[in-house]
A and B are shown apart, each in its own frame.
Chain A
Amino acid sequence: MKKINLLYIMLAAVLLYSCSKDITERNMDFPALQPASTDINAGTWKPILLTGPTEFPVAAPIATTTPDYIAQVNEIKSFQAKMTRDEKNSVKYWSAGAVLRWNEIMRELVALHNLPPYQNADGTYPFPSANNPLAYPQFPFANPPYAARAYAYVAAAQYDALVAAWHYKKLYNRPAPYNADPTVNVLIPKSDLPSYPSEDAVVIGVTTELLKLLFPGDQEFIQLKAEEHKRARIIAGANVRSDLEAGETLGKSVAQKFVTRARGDRAGAAIGNQTIWTQMENDAIARGEIPWISQESPKRPPMLPLFGKVKTFLFDSLTMVTTIRPAAPPSTSSQQFKDEVAEVYSFSKNPTREQIRIAHFWADGLATYTPPGHWNAIATEDFVKQNFSEVRWARNMGLLNMALMDAAIACWDAKYLYFNPRPSQIDPRIKTTTGLPNFPSYISGHSTFSGAAATILGHIIKPKAAEYTAMAKEASESRIYGAIHYRSDCTRGLETGNKVGEYAIARALTDGAE
């Protein structure tokens, strides 16, 4: 009898235990965008590349009394009449905001592509080819510099395209379908913002066009998202088809300016070649320093050694050399250097659980959205609470991501100028609790990214400035805990990042949005 009871207890335990394993993901709970202000005058904000908001003209819309318009309203009503549960969910998903969702989609693409190629049989490494993106190794290898640049181009282009869109919204002042026809159901918060051209379609047009350049092998995934997004806007009653068509066309036009800039920004040549890699090593030796050597087996060429030459957004290349570039690191023969190696060894030898947690929290290594992506995720979750309009979302994401890209450029400039070895190269006893990046140590990328992001985010959401600074400091120190960076890499990285962030603030103060 006792045994029977035991069996019942075991069965009961299984039943109790078999509750759902489903996970609530933070980004699925974002509320529908409900801007505190429509920012109706955003057409006057200063664009980044456009000469002005009318550089790409948008034709006047048809009147809301025409049969054509009424037919488009009927399209909304037909969709709504046979709306499925999936479509309802889709409306809710996209209602959180176009800039937000496409930034998330990019983060997902970065995570998918953030994997270093496997070596060839002869111990050399293949490089991904933009012309053959689906062949292994797939294009791109979305490492942190690549990702930072991708996020920045898309965010900056979205901003310019929306500034132009806002100009025409105010000019033509065509009401949203639910304001033009009160019998239209609306499934998202109503707004007085004119709906022509559609801000969502502007974002779709500009983003999909840039993603052809940045993620050429993922077109099916991207186009499916674009179609779903457009349909969600119609089902929601937020846009008629002509709002979408005008917006998408405008977005695609604006994207071309950014595509042209991207093709000429020197990123395509950032991989360098054997002659350049050897030259960097020899230059370090000539300065009397121990040069960086790849710790991978087989030895992998350094990651994007000429990325420091890429064209910046927020300052010119002279400013980078004279104002942003950090001073040389402690010499590899100095006492300070030896002390810093010893400090890294102490963290490596006996890491606490908390140090491992911090190292992993900020690691953003292989198959993640990278540190710039992490700061985009942090910004997103905070921006959601700010009730920004789409154009202000784009402006703030643009500032953040231009700062992150310029931080990447400044950091990579220092890394390959100084070609400083990693701690584990100097002391083989140093083992790491996070992946060892395959590029020189000084200055820390995480620190530079985090310094830049915290500075501009602290300007955008001033009450959180101290919190962002503390996060950046923790992100920076996580690299010492992980035993992959010296303290100088991290403190100088933060300082350099902060300087880059100040240039983003300087732009923010003069772009007309504050």
Chain B
Amino acid sequence: MKKLLLLTVFLISIKAGAQTDIDAIMMEKNAFCIGPMYAHSSWKNYWEGTLKRDNANLGKVSTTMSSVMGNYGITNKLNVLFGVPYVKTKASAGQLKGLKGIQDISLWVKWKAYTKKMGQGRLSLFAIGGYSLPASNYTADFLPMSIGLESKNLSLRAMADYQRGAWFATLSGTYVRRSNIEIDRTAYYTTEMHYSNEVKMPDAASFNFRAGYRDKGAYAELVLDNWTTLDGFDITRNNMPFPSNRMNATRIGLNLKYPMRFHPPLSLVANGFTTIAGRNMGQATGFGAGIFYVFNFAKKEKADTNKSKK
């Protein structure tokens, strides 16, 4: 906690972008924040069902993601966000070829539905909806080298945020409805034989808790999140993974954002995470960094808004 406080010392009071679909930060009306993100994650150990193991025929499996993310304020309380990632996978050992390509394009609508003063702080409630679908015809059925799972996902999220001074905590829960996918073969085995190229994808739920310091466009937060697939089957002994496995992961992470003092619309973001529990997934650790820029298409209005808030 002391380290986190030290980091916050350098944060300065400027408003800037780099919001995500899972935090409580909103873009102002007519402001548009966009920027590239780079993320790298890798794992050596993975969970084969619930059994943790390594695999000398994979070595370390790494994924890099280069993406463009953006966020536009339709109003101060209604934002739309999008993301398009390019993903590349690689195994450090064995023969399996890494794959690459544009993965899923995602679109989010974030609505700050309710705000109320509560005690010495402020409580905000959000409703968030998202949809993602593959942006290219990539191969899902080649795990762990696949760049994605190919399903079209509809996400519904409820989120609550409480801020007191510069300190905040945010809790959200998401239900993810996943469409079936089509694979390149005409039959496959899960816990029984299936004569179809269509794979039934179980839905998923996720929880996310984040807390930290947030002030004037800068923040430092600790994150705990959990992804639970609501059905699906375990990888059997020494088998390969399959898209409809029961994939679960619990991760902890740290996110930082720092708006540049010399030019406030420009900010840097950085994050890191590690996986503390899982099932049918790699025990991934990763980091990411990005640069975001806010374009304000209604400077005057922004000034007015600031005034009215004071």
- B95 to chain A: which residues have CB within 8 Å? 295, 424, 430-432, 436
- A112 close to chain B: CB less than 8 A: yes
Dominant SS at the B interface? loop
In the complex, are the beta carbons of B141 and A18 less than 8 A apart? no
Chain A nearest Cβ from B281, distance in angstroms? 18
Chain A nearest Cβ from B265, distance in angstroms? 28
Chain A nearest Cβ from B44, distance in angstroms? 14
In the complex, are the beta carbons of A111 and B236 less than 8 A apart? no
* Docked CA distance A121–B96 (Å): 24
* Docked CA distance A295–B58 (Å): 12
In the complex, are the beta carbons of B129 and A377 less than 8 A apart? no
In the complex, are the beta carbons of B97 and A360 less than 8 A apart? no
**Closest partner residue, chain B, to A378 (CB atom):** B186
> What is the 8 Å Cβ interface bit string for chain B, positions 69-111, against chain A (1 contact, 0 not)?
0000000011000000000000001111110000000000101
In the complex, are the beta carbons of B154 and A13 less than 8 A apart? yes
Given A115-B239, A353-B137 in contact, is the A23-B200 Cβ separation under 8 Å? yes
Chain A nearest Cβ from B179, distance in angstroms? 8
* Docked CA distance A37–B57 (Å): 54
Considering the complex, which residues of chain A in the window 413-432 have a beta carbon less than 8 Å from any beta carbon of chain B?
424, 430-432
- A368 close to chain B: CB less than 8 A: yes
* Docked CA distance A17–B201 (Å): 13
Q: Which of B131, B184, B196, B240 contacts A23 (CB 8 A)?
A: B196
* Docked CA distance A431–B100 (Å): 14
Chain B nearest Cβ from A462, distance in angstroms? 24
- B185 to chain A: which residues have CB within 8 Å? 360-361, 363-364, 368
In the complex, are the beta carbons of A360 and B129 less than 8 A apart? no
- A368 to chain B: which residues have CB within 8 Å? 185, 187-189
Q: Which of B94, B139, B238 contacts A297 (CB 8 A)?
A: B94
Range of interface residues on A (Cβ < 8 Å): 35 or more
* Docked CA distance A197–B185 (Å): 39
From A21, A111, A295, A298, residue with most partner B Cβ within 10 Å: A21
- A17 to chain B: which residues have CB within 8 Å? 154, 177, 179
Q: Which of A7, A111, A431, A436 contacts B98 (CB 8 A)?
A: A431
Q: Which of A297, A363, A424 contacts B93 (CB 8 A)?
A: A297
In the complex, are the beta carbons of A353 and B156 less than 8 A apart? no
In the complex, are the beta carbons of A108 and B201 less than 8 A apart? no
* Docked CA distance A430–B154 (Å): 39
- B10 close to chain A: CB less than 8 A: no
In the complex, are the beta carbons of B189 and A432 less than 8 A apart? no
> What is the 8 Å Cβ interface bit string for chain A, positions 88-114, against chain B (1 contact, 0 not)?
000000000000000010011001100
- B198 close to chain A: CB less than 8 A: yes
- B276 close to chain A: CB less than 8 A: no
Chain A nearest Cβ from B73, distance in angstroms? 14
* Docked CA distance A433–B94 (Å): 12
Chain A nearest Cβ from B298, distance in angstroms? 18
Given A23-B200, A297-B56, A432-B96 in contact, is the A361-B129 Cβ separation under 8 Å? no
- A297 to chain B: which residues have CB within 8 Å? 56-57, 93-94
Chain A nearest Cβ from B29, distance in angstroms? 13
Given A3-B111, A6-B109, A483-B97 in contact, is the A433-B239 Cβ separation under 8 Å? no
> What is the 8 Å Cβ interface bit string for chain A, positions 108-151, against chain B (1 contact, 0 not)?
10011001111000000000000000001000000000000000
- A369 close to chain B: CB less than 8 A: yes
**Closest partner residue, chain B, to A430 (CB atom):** B95
In the complex, are the beta carbons of A117 and B238 less than 8 A apart? yes
From A22, A26, A424, residue with most partner B Cβ within 10 Å: A26
- B180 close to chain A: CB less than 8 A: yes
- A483 to chain B: which residues have CB within 8 Å? 97
Q: What are the 10 closest A-B residue pairs judged by CB atoms, nearest first? A: A431-B97, A297-B56, A360-B184, A111-B189, A108-B193, A27-B195, A118-B238, A10-B129, A26-B195, A25-B195
11 contacts between A and B (CB under 8 A): A6-B109, A13-B129, A17-B177, A27-B195, A108-B192, A115-B236, A115-B239, A360-B142, A366-B239, A369-B187, A435-B96
A-B contacts besides A3-B113, A6-B78, A435-B240, 16 pairs, CB < 8 Å: A2-B78, A13-B154, A23-B196, A23-B198, A25-B194, A25-B196, A26-B186, A104-B193, A111-B193, A116-B238, A298-B56, A353-B138, A363-B185, A367-B240, A431-B97, A436-B95
